């Protein structure tokens, strides 16, 4: 099942040039661009690990594309996303976030139903991938 | 998701056919490097060999740009440069202008200049250098990385110095990301010569070695007059003569750094002028008095009283 989180996730995967122009857009707006990765695809997993530090004071996307290539080389089998953080007063939050790398096979989620008191049903979702230990989840 | 309902974007947009002839003048005017070169001529006094070289590089790049349009160029030209010369000869100023020229011609995408020295590139402990250097390189991407006093990167007397690590990362990026970044090294001639001698990789990756000559006395005087004019001051004719003598004396003293020494001298002359005006409070000042610098303001400098005494070096 294709994960749809953040911007552009209902579109076909972005090409290198498209990623570059999005990153350049963030830089032109003065946002700090971050690269994050994870292998836990659950939508409530907000704590992705960071690749290096947030990249402040950059002018050109080339530096970030270089870091992204490096991150893909190491964690190419996981989800990688790029986010742009706006530090200006009143925003101080992430303004854009989009997935730039996916595992070759996305296993999807299992839906658990729990019958609770009074005919209530509680639902929970669990990624099939998360059943394996971290770091081995998307290795074939 | 109704992905199928989205219009497919054609991958291969038909490219414009390469033109077989190009109007050189319109191309020259389109990028407007003439105005940058004219500004270079106007704002920088002297430095004839440097200007000639910059002009040559600009012409080469213009031709290269046209060749690329006509799909004749095969490889991306190497643009890394080394500026050697004594302090205060305008290396940083020329680097800024060069960035402007490269930007106009489309050889760097943003045209900003990141000015660094050894401290910004080399770390203090093991594992500190690589992230630090990469950070700076990322900031400089799309522009010009100006490394002042580049020879400090390499310290042969300490074999465990982290400078070597920074040099290796620099060399790698200079080679592999030539289209993203232009590196300009700057420093004193003799030390740069030794630096290149012990790092042959650098010499071969740098296409343009430009030597900045020292200014002559007459050039220093016109620099001083230009600096004063920018701040709405002017020499009286006596003060001008005194300043000519000042230049001759100051040049013979240690730690003379060309235009920078002149700027510092002018700052102190303005100080003395202001002091002279404030000493006599009971009068009406005219704008002439406020703008003119008298011989006394110049002659009060310690350069005249102590001659070549080393204690006069900061005067």
The model's pLDDT over B162-216, given as tens digits with 9 standing for 90+, comes to 888 999 999 999 988 888 899 999 988 888 988 998 888 888 888 889 999 989 9
pLDDT for the residue B311: 45
pLDDT for the residue B46: 84
Q: Which residue has the higher pLDDT, B144 or B35?
A: B144
B139/A58 Cβ within 8 A: yes
Q: Look at phi and psi of residue B232 and say left if phi exceeds 0, alpha if psi is from -120 to 50, else beta.
A: left
Please report which confidence band the pLDDT of residue B9 belongs to, taking 50, 70 and 90 as the band edges.
low
Percent of chain B with pLDDT over 90: 27
Residue A44 burial class via C-beta count within 10 angstroms: exposed 0-12, middle 13-18, buried 19 and up: exposed
pLDDT at B155 over 70: yes
Listed in sequence order, the residues at least 6 apart from B97 whose beta carbon sits closer than 8 Å to its beta carbon are B36, B39, B40, B44, B54
- B77/A83 Cα distance (integer angstroms): 34
Q: Quote the minimal CA–CA distance from A7 to chain B in Å.
A: 15
Residues 2-41, chain A, touching B (beta carbon < 8 A): 2, 4, 10-12
Say if B194 is an interface residue toward chain A (CB within 8 Å).
Answer: no
Percent of chain B with pLDDT over 70: 90
Chain B residue with the nearest C-alpha to that of A12: B3
pLDDT for the residue B41: 83
Half-sphere exposure of B77 (CA within 13 A, CB side): 21
Over residues A48-57, the mean pLDDT reads: 91
pLDDT at B315 over 50: no
- Identify the DSSP state of B6: S
Q: Quote the minimal CA–CA distance from B209 to chain A in Å.
A: 26
B269-310 residue pLDDT tens: 999 999 998 888 888 888 888 888 988 888 888 888 765 444
Q: What is the mean pLDDT of chain B?
A: 84
Cα distances from B244 to residues A49, B95, B135, B235, B306, in angstroms, run 65, 29, 47, 11, 17
pLDDT at B14 over 90: no
Say if B110 is an interface residue toward chain A (CB within 8 Å).
Answer: yes
Among A59, A65, A71, the strongest candidate for a mutation testing the B interface, having the largest count of B CBs within 10 A, is: A59
pLDDT for the residue B116: 93
Contact B295, B239 (CB under 8 A): yes
pLDDT for the residue B4: 47
Please report which confidence band the pLDDT of residue B18 belongs to, taking 50, 70 and 90 as the band edges.
low
- B280/B265 Cα distance (integer angstroms): 24
Q: Report the 10 Å Cβ neighbour count for B84.
A: 22
Cα distances from B302 to residues B172, B204, B224, B292, in angstroms, run 50, 46, 18, 21
Please report which confidence band the pLDDT of residue B22 belongs to, taking 50, 70 and 90 as the band edges.
confident
A62/B177 Cβ within 8 A: yes
pLDDT at A48 over 90: yes
Over residues B42-60, the mean pLDDT reads: 86
B69-126 residue pLDDT tens: 888 876 778 889 999 998 888 888 888 888 888 888 888 888 899 999 999 999 989 8
pLDDT at B3 over 70: no
Q: What is the mean pLDDT of chain A?
A: 92
B141/A10 Cβ within 8 A: no
B180/A58 Cβ within 8 A: no
Chain A residues near residue B109 by CB distance under 8 angstroms: 60, 62
Over residues B113-140, the mean pLDDT reads: 91
Among B2, B142, B169, the strongest candidate for a mutation testing the A interface, having the largest count of A CBs within 10 A, is: B142
Chain B residues near residue A57 by CB distance under 8 angstroms: 139
B143/A60 Cβ within 8 A: yes
A84-119 residue pLDDT tens: 999 999 999 999 999 999 999 998 999 999 999 999
Contact B212, B84 (CB under 8 A): yes
The end-to-end CA distance of chain A, in Å, is 17
- A126/B206 Cα distance (integer angstroms): 56
Q: What is the pTM of this model?
A: 0.78
pLDDT at A52 over 80: yes
pLDDT at B2 over 90: no
Over residues B241-260, the mean pLDDT reads: 89
pLDDT for the residue A50: 95
Cα distances from B305 to residues B270, B300, B308, in angstroms, run 19, 8, 9
Over residues B133-161, the mean pLDDT reads: 89
Q: What are phi and psi of A130, to 5 degrees?
A: -70, -5
The end-to-end CA distance of chain B, in Å, is 77
Please report which confidence band the pLDDT of residue B6 belongs to, taking 50, 70 and 90 as the band edges.
low
């Amino acid at each position: 099942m294709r994960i749809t989180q953040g911007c552009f996730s209902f579109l076909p995967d972005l090409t290198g040039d498209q990623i570059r122009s999005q990153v350049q857009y963030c830089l032109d707006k003065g946002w700090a661009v971050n690269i994050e990765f994870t292998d836990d695809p659950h939508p409530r997993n907000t704590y992705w690990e960071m690749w290096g530090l947030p990249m402040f004071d950059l002018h050109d996307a080339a530096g970030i594309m270089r870091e992204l290539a490096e991150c893909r080389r190491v964690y190419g089998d996981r989800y990688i996303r790029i986010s742009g953080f706006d530090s200006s007063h009143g925003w101080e939050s992430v303004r854009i976030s989009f997935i730039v790398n996916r595992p070759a096979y996305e296993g999807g989620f299992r839906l658990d139903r729990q019958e609770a008191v009074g005919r209530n049903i509680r639902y929970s979702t669990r990624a099939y991938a998360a059943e394996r230990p971290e770091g081995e989840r998307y290795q074939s | 998701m109704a992905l199928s309902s989205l219009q497919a974007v054609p991958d291969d947009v038909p490219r414009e056919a390469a033109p077989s002839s190009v109007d050189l003048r319109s191309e020259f005017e389109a990028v407007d490097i003439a105005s940058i070169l004219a500004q270079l001529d106007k704002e920088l006094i002297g430095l004839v060999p440097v200007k000639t070289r910059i002009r040559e590089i600009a012409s080469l790049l213009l031709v290269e740009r046209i060749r690329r349009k006509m799909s004749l160029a095969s490889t991306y030209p190497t643009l890394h440069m080394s500026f050697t010369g004594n302090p205060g000869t305008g290396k940083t100023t020329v680097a800024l202008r060069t960035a402007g020229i490269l930007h106009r011609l489309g050889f760097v995408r943003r045209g900003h200049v990141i000015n660094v020295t050894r401290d910004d590139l080399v770390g203090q402990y093991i594992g500190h250098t690589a992230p630090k250097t990469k950070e700076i390189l990322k900031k400089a991407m799309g522009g010009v990385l100006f490394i002042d006093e580049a020879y400090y990167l390499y310290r042969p007397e300490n074999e465990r110095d982290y400078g070597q690590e920074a040099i290796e990362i620099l060399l790698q990026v200079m080679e592999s990301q030539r289209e993203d970044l232009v590196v300009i090294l700057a420093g004193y001639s003799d030390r740069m010569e030794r630096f290149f001698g012990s790092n042959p990789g650098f010499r071969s990756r740098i296409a343009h070695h430009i030597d900045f000559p020292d200014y002559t006395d007459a050039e220093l005087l016109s620099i001083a007059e230009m600096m004063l004019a920018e701040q709405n001051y002017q020499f009286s004719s006596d003060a001008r003569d005194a300043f000519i003598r000042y230049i001759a004396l100051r040049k013979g003293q240690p730690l003379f750094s060309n235009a920078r020494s002149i700027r510092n001298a002018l700052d102190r002359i303005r100080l003395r002028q202001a002091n002279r005006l404030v000493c006599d409070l009971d009068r009406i000042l005219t704008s002439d008095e406020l703008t003119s610098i008298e011989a006394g303001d110049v002659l009060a400098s310690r350069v005249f009283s102590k001659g070549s005494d080393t204690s006069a070096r900061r005067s």
